[in-house]
Amino acid sequence: MARQKIAAGNWKMNTSHSDGYFLAEALTKAKRPSDVQTIMAVPYTHLGAVQALTFDKKNISVAAQNFHHEEKGAYTGEISINMLSSMHIPYAIIGHSERREYQKESNSLLATKLNLALSKNITPIFCCGEKLPIRKSKRHVSFVKKQLQQGLFHLSKSEIKNVIIAYEPVWAIGTGETASPAQAQEMHAAIRKMLADKYGQAIADDISILYGGSVKPANAKSLFGQPDVDGGLVGGASLDAPGFLEVINSF
């Protein structure tokens, strides 16, 4: 079975409610390739509106950027997995590098979040990746392996099939730097081998692994052309409808 091609846009803390709506509307109405799943990870304030735009459309969906690790409770300002589930949100990002950095989210905490998402039939987009010093010391493969072992590999064979992985070279996020297609392929192939060693080659071959490091129209085609790169987790370029559509059409 061919792996799902995915173009996921992470809007982060950007766009007003109206600007976000018009951006989502433009992407929803645009002609897009039928074999590419487009995902918009929008701010919490936009989830209802964007879900209403996309819930009956093919190959375009909404995602949450995060949720709390407890199902309910006295956590002012937080969003629970049950809230997302009640809105029928199909995807959620888990462990983005900015959450790991600024909110100090640990691998064990992310494992808890994975369990919650899967229990509610929400597909997790699980992020992993290394900072520049780790890359320069050539420890990037072992570092990412530890992230997967501690945060992801507790899942069963049936559960892991429902996870999307996003590799983020943290040194390339928001810096204008991008891993070369060869560097991206190296890490994606290494991650797929880790999956194969744990779950078997057949399962590893079916899991989509996205590249998330300054993907833009100029480099998307060369990145997505690599055999183990199944799409992108796109930041700034996803905030411009024409530009993001170029990325979506780059496969």
Q: From CA 85, how far away is CA 29, in angstroms rounded?
A: 25
Establish whether 68 is a catalytic residue. Answer: no
Catalytic residue among 96, 98, 105, 188: 96
Establish whether 168 is a catalytic residue. Answer: yes
- Alpha helix positions (H), 157-224: 157-160, 181-199, 201-206, 217-224
Map residue 39 onto helix, strand or coil.
Answer: strand
Catalytic residue among 130, 140, 168, 188: 168
Contact 216, 248 (CB under 8 A): no
Contacts of 69 by beta carbon, 8 Å cutoff, 6+ apart? 109, 112, 113, 116
Q: What angle do CA 74, 75, 78 make, to 5 degrees?
A: 140
Residues marked active site are found at 96, 168
